[in-house]
Structure 1
Amino acid sequence: MRIAVAGGTGLTGRLVVDTLRADGDEPVVLARSAGVDLTTGAGLEPRLEGVRAVIDVSNIVTTRTKPSVAFFQAATAHLLAAEERAGVAHHVALSIVGVDRVDLGYYLGKRRQEELVLGGPVPGTVLRATQFHEFAAQTLARTGPLVLAPSLLAQPVALAEVARHLVDLAHGRPLGLAPELAGPEERLLMPDMVRRLKRVVGDRRPVVSVRLPGAVGRAMAGGGLLPTGPGPRGSVTFEQWLATRRPDPR
């Protein structure tokens, strides 16, 4: 099957593309490096020729409401309009568990994305997933004398398992809002995850737990990003994922 991946050059997108190729599908990358600008729609239609489904894992790095909403509004609207014209049968979007309960600016953009997909012209599926194991590595990769880790409770899932689930959904019928995907371990603290990772890779910087102010911080620290109902669960624990990490050569 010919399946397009919006954001196919990012961390998640590359794994989705690899999973598609391993399955014998034909991935089509939708990214600036492939001549596509999701925020304007430029270059989209030629890339969607013969595409049966689109998996959208495009992203913007921000915690602010205005840029988040602007990005997801524009990218999703352009994608759906071009998909409708191209006859795409299924749009699958990756979202976040708790996005409807925690009012972080970034999450407001994801909510807008969900609204557009679920009410759009192309049959759609929205998969909410919990934080990835890889989020600990992204936190540790930030430069500075301290590692600032957000105070949040997580049920983290391996990104490779998220990619696998997205591909499986793309092959199936549109579900609307799909059951939430989470990892196998409940209630892990993100700062503790970061500390465990830093010991493996040999990072000596202290890890400082940072709680966001107000209701957002309370919700994140109090379980607002945990799944509230049944759904698929990954099998890779954080400890198993840590075993695949390597010490920093520095």
Structure 2
Amino acid sequence: MSITTFAVAGATGRLGRHVVDVLTERGHQVVPMSRATGVDIITGEGLAEALTGVEVIIDVASWHSSDQDAATEFFRTSARNLHEAGRKAGVARIAMASIIGADKATAGFLAAKKVHEELLLSGLLPVRILRAAQFHEFVGQLLDWQQGDVAYLPALPTQLVACRTVAEELVELATAPAAPGTPIPEIAGPRKEIMAEAAQFLGARRGIKVVGVDGSGIPDAEIAANGGFLPSPHAKLAGPTFQEWLDTQP
């Protein structure tokens, strides 16, 4: 196996930590990029220095809220900066993590990710995209956003997948030979679930009652209810299931 030097944008985030771990375990050189490591992909601070000698950028940096306009501006700026600094540094390509169904989105964070994909694909460097289902870890975040002993979460279909599983697939994509003409790859968990029902398992641990609701007020809830954000037939499905993953968490 040839050793490649990777820069990971968003290296300290929920997915980024796993990407760094997978790359390190496979013997690659890793440059972690986040504000915590002195690299800001929005202001550009430290970016040129971090990309010196880097062959591949893996972009898993994300905006911290679901606000569509703010997220879109974040992705617009990060895409431009990574392409410009990457080209100057001689980077070969960018691999990025997106979300299954982003191409169908009309509002909310998913619509911002749709723009993110388009901006990266229209940039100076070759780009590879992996679309992933919602993470197992996202369920806890949904509960964190709620207040009190009862949480109201959407009873919408999903196919939850572990961050570690996504990281492994993203590293495979970033290092694989080019395969032009193939559809954008997808990674999802092994089975379809209802978000609210999955959250009930975690809620029971936390002493929170989870009540499923119809998703009113959630961007593109109708698309989600009709399965628009579930994996395509060509998607790779991989465990663990949400319950299996939950059993391994402290």
Structures share fold, TM-score greater than 0.5: yes
The Cα of 1:174 is off from its aligned counterpart by 4.3
1:40 has 2:14 as partner = no
Secondary structure at the residue paired with 1:108?
A: helix
Give the Cα separation in 2 of the matches to 1:160 and 1:214: 27
Bigger shift: residues 80-89 or 144-153: 144-153
Name which of 187, 194, 199 aligns with 1:194.
199
Bigger shift: residues 67-76 or 36-45: 36-45
Give the Cα separation in 2 of the matches to 1:79 and 1:197: 37
Q: CA RMSD in A?
A: 1.8
1:182 has 2:206 as partner = no
Give the Cα separation in 2 of the matches to 1:52 and 1:148: 45
Secondary structure at the residue paired with 2:96?
A: strand
Q: Which residue of 2 aligns with 1:230?
A: 234
Instruction: In structure 2, give the amino acid aligned to 1:84.
Output: R
Give the Cα separation in 1 of the matches to 2:12 and 2:115: 23
1:149 has 2:153 as partner = yes
The Cα of 1:91 is off from its aligned counterpart by 0.3
Contact 1:123 1:174 in 2 (8 A): no
1:68-114 C-alpha deviation (Å, 9 max, x unpaired): 11000001110111111111112001000011113232122211111
Contact 2:48 2:89 in 1 (8 A): yes
Q: Which residue of 2 aligns with 1:216?
A: 220
Give the Cα separation in 1 of the matches to 2:234 and 2:124: 29
Instruction: In structure 1, give the amino acid aligned to 2:185.
Output: P
1:170-210 C-alpha deviation (Å, 9 max, x unpaired): 11234575321111112x100000001222x2x22221334
How many residues are treated as equivalent by the alignment?
243
Alignment of 1:156-167 (within 5 A): 156-167=160-171
Secondary structure at the residue paired with 1:94?
A: strand
Give the Cα separation in 1 of the matches to 2:83 and 2:155: 36
- Which consecutive unaligned segments of at least 5 residues does structure 1 have? none
Give the Cα separation in 2 of the matches to 1:241 and 1:132: 11
Following TM superposition, the consecutive aligned residue runs of length 4 or more in structure 1 with deviations greater than 6 angstroms are none
The Cα of 1:24 is off from its aligned counterpart by 0.9
Q: TM-score of the superposition, structure 1-length normalised?
A: 0.91
% identical aligned pairs: 37
Secondary structure at the residue paired with 1:208?
A: strand
Bigger shift: residues 171-180 or 101-110: 171-180
Bigger shift: residues 13-22 or 141-150: 141-150
Q: 1:31 to 1:81 in 2, by over 3 A?
A: same
- Which consecutive unaligned segments of at least 5 residues does structure 2 have? none
1:8 has 2:11 as partner = yes
Contact 1:117 1:126 in 2 (8 A): no
The Cα of 1:64 is off from its aligned counterpart by 2.3
Q: Which residue of 1 aligns with 2:66?
A: 63
Contact 2:108 2:219 in 1 (8 A): no
Contact 2:186 2:234 in 1 (8 A): yes
Secondary structure at the residue paired with 1:125?
A: strand
